[in-house]
């Protein structure tokens, strides 16, 4: 009897999820294998705040100092909460793998919907692995934190919390802090990965918002903990020769803390394994986004990339394309570290630009009162271009939602603006931040493609079914 009830509940949940997707005009094609715990592990590992900070904390140390890095992290954490509250509301309204480009299309004025939506895009084993990844993410944190704090020599509280530095030679300490602060903000970038797995998540309109907010909370706590520990345990030479040779100061810090080659190797290996796991997760979410945008005819070769394997119920061509592009990008690192850093900076800036666009569109619709209260009626198409806009089951109500939405816009704008700054006041060709040029070039070619081809085939999110 119990087994029958569980199966009935699972079946009814799948039917509800499929019905919700059909209300957005989409035909269900993927298996919904993810639950809250598995997608939370997936999101936490991809976000990887504490692991990412260990690889990038020299940025806020150079421009900000130890105290500046800590306060920059807090600023970024609060801003990320606001930003992802907005994304959580949108994911609850329209839980589709398209994510930002679908939301931009449904919120934009009809006259500009196609163009705004277009430029916004700039299995079974995987869900089970999500739980393992969550455990590894948390256990690995303590595996690094405990020996680091216990065995290393400690700096004083004054050195950690009241030490500021202007290593870039900027005119004021405040300007230097803002330039360094973007690194801490980038440690929270990419948490929207869960959004692009939406069509494989059970009870997506509720689970995705929960996953977004929980992963920001969990990663923020772990990231803050590792940052404080690192600031207390880091010597003046930032990992010494080993840090210089490898390009990752945390390896040298581990060696200085443990005074053991094997111990520091184990601690570094933990981070490496989680990096690889995050990479596999990113490939999964990237392939889903490519498949979704191809389904709506937004990319060259969309007929191929939109294909779903009938046997595996996975976007195999899009997955192969994602792996190939990732492999080619990795080759750039062999030739030039600076070029690779600029590409990463460009990618993160582009992600935040997509966050900014949908946040502004939602803010305008919210102020105008264009969005109706949540209902689970199945007799009309909603949340697609030209259709009725309806809140999902998760939202930040009333004036509080407006304040959070407005703060998110301000925060993201600050991050984008300073993400294009070089790390020094007088940069050379090698140290210049070329990401603004790369972003401009990418947008230029995307607009050209839209003008000469895409506008003739891309009409926004396609309605595949009618109710």
Query: What would the DSSP string read from start to end of 219-271?
Result: HHHHHHHHHHHHHHH--TTTTHHHHHHHS-HHHHHHHHHH--HHHHHHHHHHH
User: Could you state, in order of their start, the residue ranges of all structural domains in the chain?
Assistant: 35-457
**Which residue blocks in 369-433 are alpha helix, DSSP H?**
398-419
Higher pLDDT, 249 or 117: 249
Q: How far is CA 269 from CA 245, 263, 320, in A?
A: 17, 10, 27
Quick: pLDDT tens for 186-195.
888 776 777 7
Beta-strand runs (E) in 70-176? none
CATH number of 35-457: 1.20.1740.10
User: Roughly what angle, to the nearest 10 degrees, separates helices 204-233 and 2-23?
Assistant: 90
User: What DSSP state is assigned to residue 423?
Assistant: S
pLDDT value at residue 464: 63
User: Roughly what angle, to the nearest 10 degrees, separates helices 173-186 and 65-93?
Assistant: 50
Quick: pLDDT tens for 347-389.
778 888 888 999 999 999 999 988 888 776 666 777 777 778 8
Q: Are 358 and 107 in contact (CB under 8 A)?
A: yes
Residue 196 in this model has a pLDDT that exceeds 90:
no
Residue 467 in this model has a pLDDT that exceeds 70:
no
pTM: 0.86
pLDDT value at residue 8: 43
When pLDDT is averaged across residues 83-87 and rounded to a whole number, the result is: 91
CA–CA distance, 143 with 135 (Å, rounded to integer): 12
Q: Which of 223-227, 308-312, 376-380 has the highest mean pLDDT?
A: 223-227
- State both tokens at 180: 């360094």
Q: How far is CA 231 from CA 47, 54, 270, 272, in A?
A: 21, 11, 20, 21
Length in residues, the chain:
467
Average pLDDT, the chain: 80
Q: Are 87 and 188 in contact (CB under 8 A)?
A: no
CA–CA distance, 83 with 137 (Å, rounded to integer): 23
**Which residue blocks in 100-203 are alpha helix, DSSP H?**
100-107, 113-120, 125-151, 157-161, 173-186
Q: Are 404 and 82 in contact (CB under 8 A)?
A: yes
Number of alpha carbons in the 13 Å side-chain half-sphere of residue 463: 16
Quick: pLDDT tens for 99-115.
777 788 788 777 766 66
Q: Is 316 exposed, middle or buried (0-12, 13-18, 19+ CB in 10 A)?
A: middle
CA–CA distance, 172 with 168 (Å, rounded to integer): 10
CA–CA distance, 408 with 430 (Å, rounded to integer): 33
Closest to 119 (Cα-Cα) out of 442, 369, 462: 442
* Torsion on CA atoms 38, 279, 70, 232, rounded to nearest 10: 100
Q: How confident is the model at residue 74 (pLDDT cuts 50, 70, 90)?
A: very high
- State both tokens at 309: 């394997």
């Amino acid at each position: 009897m119990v087994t029958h009830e569980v199966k009935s509940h699972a079946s009814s949940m799948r039917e509800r999820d499929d019905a919700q997707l059909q209300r957005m005009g989409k035909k269900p094609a993927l298996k919904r294998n993810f639950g809250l715990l598995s997608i939370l592990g997936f999101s936490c590992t991809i976000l990887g705040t504490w692991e990412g900070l260990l690889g990038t904390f020299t940025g806020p140390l150079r421009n900000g100092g130890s105290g500046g890095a800590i306060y920059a992290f807090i600023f970024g954490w609060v801003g990320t909460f606001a930003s992802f509250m907005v994304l959580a509301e949108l994911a609850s309204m329209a839980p589709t793998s398209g994510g930002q480009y679908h939301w931009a299309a449904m919120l934009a004025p009809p006259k500009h919907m196609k163009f705004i939506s277009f430029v916004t895009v700039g299995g079974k084993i995987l869900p089970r692995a999500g739980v393992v990844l969550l455990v590894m993410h948390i256990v690995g944190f303590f595996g690094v934190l405990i020996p680091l704090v216990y065995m290393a020599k400690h700096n004083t509280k004054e050195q950690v919390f009241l030490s500021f530095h202007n290593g870039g030679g900027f005119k004021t300490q405040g300007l230097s802090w803002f330039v360094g602060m973007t690194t801490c903000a980038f440690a929270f970038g990419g948490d929207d990965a869960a959004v692009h797995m939406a069509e494989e998540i059970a009870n997506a309109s509720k689970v995705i918002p929960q996953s977004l907010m929980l992963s920001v909370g969990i990663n923020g706590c772990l990231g803050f903990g590792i940052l404080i520990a690192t600031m207390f345990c880091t010597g003046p030479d930032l990992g010494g020769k080993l840090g210089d040779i490898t390009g990752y100061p945390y390896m040298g810090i581990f060696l200085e803390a443990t005074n053991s080659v094997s111990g520091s190797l184990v601690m570094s290996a933990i981070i490496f394994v989680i990096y690889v796991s995050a990479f596999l997760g990113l490939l999964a979410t990237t392939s889903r986004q490519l498949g979704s945008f191809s389904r709506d005819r937004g990319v060259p070769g969309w007929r191929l990339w939109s294909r779903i394997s009938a046997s595996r119920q996975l976007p195999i061509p899009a997955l192969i394309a994602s792996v190939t592009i990732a492999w080619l990008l990795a080759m750039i690192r062999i030739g030039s570290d600076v070029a690779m850093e600029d590409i990463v900076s460009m990618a993160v800036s582009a992600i935040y630009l997509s966050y900014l666009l949908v946040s502004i569109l939602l803010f305008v619709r919210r102020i105008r009162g264009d969005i109706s209260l949540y209902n689970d009626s199945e007799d009309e198409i909603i949340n697609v271009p030209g259709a009725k806009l309806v809140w999902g089951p998760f939202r930040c109500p009333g004036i509080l939602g407006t304040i959070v939405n407005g703060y998110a816009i301000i925060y993201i704008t600050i991050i984008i603006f300073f993400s294009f700054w070089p790390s020094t006041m007088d940069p050379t060709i090698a140290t210049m931040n070329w990401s603004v040029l790369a972003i401009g070039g990418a947008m230029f070619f995307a607009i050209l493609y839209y003008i000469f081809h895409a506008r003739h085939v891309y009409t926004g999110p396609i309605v595949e079914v009618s109710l």
